[in-house]
Amino acid sequence: MIKFTILSAALALATGNVAAAAPHYAVAGRIAGPDGGWDYASVDPQAGRLFVARSANITVIDLTRPDSIGQVGAIERGHAVVPIAGSNILLVTSGHDDSVRIIDLSSGRETARIAVGADPDAAFYDPADGVALVMNAKAGTVSLIDPKGARVKATIALKPGLEFAAIGAGQIVYVNNEDRNEIETIDLPSGKAGGTIALPGCEGPSGLGFDKTTNRLISACANGKAAIVDPVAGREIGLLDIGHGPDAVTIDATRRLAFIPCGRDGTLTLIALDSPGGATVIATVITEKGARTGAIDPRDGTVYLPTAAFNPPAAAGARPTAIPGTFHILVVKPQ
C-alpha cells in the first residue's frame, strides 16, 4: 500500500490556496534496472529518455517503453549524466579518473575523453552559452567545456568541496560547497569567481535549484534543512525542515514546485514555490531509503528516483550495501 503524508492542518491553513491547489503525489510504480551504484539522474524530454549515472556506465530508459533498458559508455564512478540539447550526445563525469566522457547515443560509444580537475562530480549544460559546467569537487575548480568540440574552454578556481550548481539571472553561477557550508559564485560572462553566500544552519549543502520566477535558490542540507537564498541580497532568508540524506533539488517550473529526495529517511519533500511569504513545505511523500537523487519529466511532472534495497550496515557508521538484483527507479506521479 502506498503511503502519502500531508503536513499538519495548521500548515495547510498557513499556506492557504497554494497547498490546496498543489497536486497529490504518490509512488505509482517501479522500473527495474541492472545492479551497480548510482548518482545523478536526468531526463531528456525531447527524446523521452531517462538517464542514470552508474558506477561503470550509463543506464538509458525509453520512457515510452520503460521495460526497454540499455547501458552505454564505460566510466569509472559516474556522477552526472547531462544530455546536450540540440545533439545526440551525453556528457558524463567520471570521478575516479578525473575525466569527462562524451558519448554518442546513436552508437553508444565514447567519442572523446577530456581531462578535468580532481573528482569531477556534478555538471549541467547551459544552452545559452553552449557550455557544460563541471564541478571538480576535490580540486575546487569548475571546468567550462565545449561538449560538441570536446575541449575545455576555461577552468575557474573556487574552493574544494564543490557539489551541485545552478545558473541564475545575469548568467551568475551558484555552486554549493559542502565543506564550507556556503554557496560560491561565478560571473560566467567574465569567467571570474565572485563572492560567497553563507548558509547558517545548513550543514553539508549538496543539491541546489534555482527558480527564475521568484529569483530564489534552494539548497538541500545534510542536517534535514533546505536553505532558501536570495541571490540578489546575497544571503540566506529562510530554513525549511526536510528529511535527512538529500542529494538533489529538482524544480518543476510549470507546476511551481520543488522536490527534494531524502535518502536516509526515504522521503520526498514537496515545496510550493509561490506560497504567501515564500517557499513552503507542503507535503512529504514516503518513498524508499536510498532514494537521494532524482529527475523530473517536465512534460507530465513525473519524478524518477533511483534506489535499491539494502543490507544492514556491517558496523556502526558503515554504509549499507545494496542487495543484488534490487536496483530500481521509483516512479512518483501527480495523482
| DSSP string for 120-157 | EEEEEEETTTTEEEEEETTTTEEEEEETTTTEEEEEEE
pLDDT at 11 over 50: no
Q: Name the pTM for this structure.
A: 0.92
Mean per-residue pLDDT, 155-177: 97
Q: How confident is the model at residue 10 (pLDDT cuts 50, 70, 90)?
A: very low
Mean per-residue pLDDT, 61-78: 92
pLDDT for residue 259? 98
Considering the domain 1-32+160-310+325-335 in this protein, what is its CATH number?
2.130.10.10
| Per-residue pLDDT tens digits for 238-247 | 999 999 999 9
User: Longest Cα pair distance anywhere in the chain, in angstroms?
Assistant: 55
For the ranges 127-141, 255-269, 302-316, which has the lowest average pLDDT?
Answer: 302-316
Instruction: Round to whole Å and give the CA distance between 70 and 153.
Output: 32
pLDDT at 23 over 80: no
291 three-state secondary structure: coil
Domain borders along the chain are 1-32+160-310+325-335
Mean per-residue pLDDT, 91-103: 97
pLDDT for residue 16? 44
- Per the DSSP assignment, residues forming a β-bridge with 183 are 176, 197
What would the grid cell of residue 184 be?
Answer: 560560491
326 three-state secondary structure: coil
The mean predicted confidence, pLDDT, of the chain is: 92
